[in-house]
Amino acid sequence: MAGEKTTLRTDQQRSYYNTTAYWNDSENRKIVPEKYAYVIYSDAWQRTENGQTVNIPAVKIGDGVTRVIDLPFLGEYESQVIIDHINDNVRHITQQERERWNSKLNMPEYEVIGTKAILTRD
């Protein structure tokens, strides 16, 4: 049921399942899940498919100390590492390479032979 803990067998970890609104409620955001307890946000993200909104769940794992609101979603750190890597404009090529690649190509008319163009870079 919405708003209630879902408890698995006593030999398994607890699992908490609810909506983002539920987890963001002023009282529920204070919950500190047990170590290794799963906290599932049933509608963490949404996307539109064929004009319909589809809820995408996300998972947090309790550490026994941190409040549910402060726990990161699984994959959040990895996603940020990838985004940072993509946005790093220096990591992949040097400034010298960038300047060379950004310079214009020289293609004088006399270097066009038949249907082939011979491209050079000064």
pLDDT at 66: 95
**Phi/psi of residue 81, each to 5°?**
-60, -45
Q: What tokens does 87 get?
A: 């946005």
Give all strands of the β-sheet with 52-61 in edge-to-edge order.
Answer: 15-18, 38-49, 52-61
Its pTM stands at 0.55
Selection from 17, 13, 21 nearest residue 5 by Cα: 17
pLDDT value for 24: 92
Q: Indicate if the alpha-carbon torsion angle 99, 104, 108, 109 is positive or negative.
A: positive
> Using one digit for the tens of pLDDT, what is the confidence trace for 12-67?
567 788 999 999 998 888 999 988 888 889 898 888 889 999 888 888 889 999 99
DSSP 120: B
The pLDDT score that the predictor gives to residue 23 is 93
Cα distances from 42 to residues 36, 65, 78, 117, in angstroms, run 18, 23, 21, 58
CB 29 within 8 A of CB 67: yes
pLDDT digits 0-9 by tens, 62-114 = 999 999 999 999 887 776 676 677 677 777 777 787 777 776 565 555 455 66
